[in-house]
Structure 1
């Protein structure tokens, strides 16, 4: 990696990561804003005069997030966390890093050969900033709140960018908020065995409610009272998936969704958590019904797919992974699923074409 990055806290950051606040009731309020950025993630956390941002939505959402921060009176950011280098998480962060003074930028030690990733790295360098790599167990102060890095716990996920996601546990008084990016089953399993208590009042549901995350074992350990799902209305991935919604429902978890309710705000006084809206009662997954699938099958001859000739995957045109395909591996075709599968291609697990 030819970027200037550090695996340890930089000078001046030790003070933030020093003595963490206790769990006695704090004086002010903590606000957690789950910003509606469509199919993506962006979360603003405010504690007094301190603020941090986790992810910034897709490439076309940087200005949306910037205007949201401005409306909330945010003038600078103590921390910016890019959980992992997928476009729907870091796409808008180049705008934020350019527009705001950001004390600390935390990103995983994992690169992605994409224009989106390089644009963010370039802005960080242009502002003479450095990337801080996450160290599990490291704690940082945010006013009267604190957060602990809980993932990634290893560096052996191959090409699965999701499992490299930076995950944190945010604490404010007695209230606890969990954020795991797009971490999937492998990373979740490691979080269960790293010795850190991951129980939380509020769980930001991993990977937009995908079935590839939020295993029952993981949810049992978190045991949340509330869950927030950030996804786009009518997204092509079918998020949130029915399996995850069913697990949350069976546990009696109150669920909030940006695709149904827009931006969602949780406010904590250190003991109690209040919301700007009521929990959803629809429990409707984003997946196609059997009737939808049958109708789609009837017009497969007219369907346009995007191929990755290297990975032998086929995608919907709207799939977020399409922008990550290198030009020499990119091919657009009009074929049926059956024809593609007979040609040796398999469907993308994210967009489920």
Structure 2
């Protein structure tokens, strides 16, 4: 009987040991597949960073003079190389800081819509890309950004835009297992309507609101189709455009969407483990 009890105890300990190791391995695997999304605080502008085990993707770089802040944020996060830069459209408050970022980091790929602009800011961006030694890839619907850690697809623009540069905005959808993020750039209601008409799946857990919360974006039908739990708004405190506009804030409230604002929370960090998303206010990442 004693031998039998000893053998049973030993078997029990072995089972517990291997179960513990499997739990630790599961936790390690889950940590390795974590995806972090940062809505950088760049004042009245736009810059979002996505970090996975294999990717470092920067969407826009804020306005002129904000590139140094973006570089500082990235270096504080331990970034050494950027796998992809997405310039959503040529407006200065989105690409103004990208020349500084391109000068500070090695960048593997650059995506931008095929639209020209004549400003010095846009020329500085093009020159920085040229000096980086990369060729701009066209950001348009159907373009997939290669990744081993998540799915990245540009779902707009579906057609050529108009004279309104916002209509050329690149829209990126990221899927990390069960969690989905949608980054709208400055895409207007025209783009939203095109996406809905085309039957493209825009459902997302987190929606990066278009055009800083201006009333030219975030139509009720689009918000209902996306049906996000949270909305990220990048805007400067006390900005002259009154972004985000009350009509957009009311629409978000009507749809029971939690609002995260960089003008109030500083840089906002979303961490996805593939099933849940946690949100952290990073007030240590504030512009100088």
TM-score bin, normalised by smaller chain: 0.7 to 0.9
Higher-Rg member (1/2)? 2
Between the aligned partners of 1:191 and 1:116, the Cα distance in structure 2 is 30
SS at match of 1:169: strand
- The Cα shift of 1:127 comes to 2.3
Q: Aligned residue for 2:128?
A: 123
Gaps of 5+ in 1: 1-24, 279-353
Q: Aligned residue for 2:80?
A: 75
SS at match of 1:228: strand
Q: Aligned residue for 1:222?
A: 226
1:201 paired with 2:235, answer: no
Between the aligned partners of 2:145 and 2:124, the Cα distance in structure 1 is 27
Q: Aligned residue for 1:246?
A: 250
SS at match of 2:259: strand
Cα contact 2:54–2:147 (8 A) shared by 1 = no
* 1:262-286 deviation per Cα after TM superposition (whole angstroms, max 9, x unaligned): 00000000000001149xxxxxxxx
Alignment RMSD (CA, Å): 1.6
TM-score scaled by length of structure 1 = 0.70
1:213 paired with 2:217, answer: yes
SS at match of 2:145: strand
Between the aligned partners of 1:275 and 1:26, the Cα distance in structure 2 is 16
1:107 paired with 2:112, answer: yes
1:34 paired with 2:43, answer: no
SS at match of 2:134: coil
Between the aligned partners of 1:135 and 1:227, the Cα distance in structure 2 is 23
Between the aligned partners of 2:127 and 2:50, the Cα distance in structure 1 is 25
Cα contact 2:89–2:170 (8 A) shared by 1 = yes
SS at match of 2:222: helix
Cα contact 1:78–1:142 (8 A) shared by 2 = no
Higher helix share: 2
Between the aligned partners of 2:48 and 2:76, the Cα distance in structure 1 is 14
Between the aligned partners of 1:261 and 1:143, the Cα distance in structure 2 is 31
TM-score scaled by length of structure 2 = 0.85
Between the aligned partners of 2:117 and 2:239, the Cα distance in structure 1 is 24
Q: Give runs of aligned pairs for residues 54-69 of structure 1, distance below 5 A.
A: 54-69=59-74
- The Cα shift of 1:49 comes to 4.1
SS at match of 1:186: helix
1:273 paired with 2:281, answer: no
Q: Identify which of 132, 141, 144 aligns with 2:137.
A: 132
1:148 paired with 2:153, answer: yes
- The Cα shift of 1:123 comes to 1.2
- The Cα shift of 1:99 comes to 1.4
Between the aligned partners of 1:222 and 1:213, the Cα distance in structure 2 is 13
Gaps of 5+ in 2: 1-29, 283-288
Between the aligned partners of 1:137 and 1:127, the Cα distance in structure 2 is 26
- The Cα shift of 1:142 comes to 3.1
* 1:194-242 deviation per Cα after TM superposition (whole angstroms, max 9, x unaligned): 3321100000010000000000011111000000100000000000001
Q: Identify which of 190, 194, 203 aligns with 2:194.
A: 190
Question: Structure 1's 109 and 34: CA in aligned 2 closer, same or farther, altered over 3 A?
Answer: same
Larger RCO: 1 or 2 (CA < 8 Å, sep 6+): 2
* 1:277-324 deviation per Cα after TM superposition (whole angstroms, max 9, x unaligned): 49xxxxxxxxxxxxxxxxxxxxxxxxxxxxxxxxxxxxxxxxxxxxxx
Q: Matched residue pairs, number?
A: 254
- The Cα shift of 1:29 comes to 0.7
Cα contact 1:26–1:144 (8 A) shared by 2 = no
Cα contact 2:150–2:174 (8 A) shared by 1 = yes
Between the aligned partners of 2:179 and 2:38, the Cα distance in structure 1 is 15
* 1:34-61 deviation per Cα after TM superposition (whole angstroms, max 9, x unaligned): 0000000001100014211000000110
1:235 paired with 2:239, answer: yes
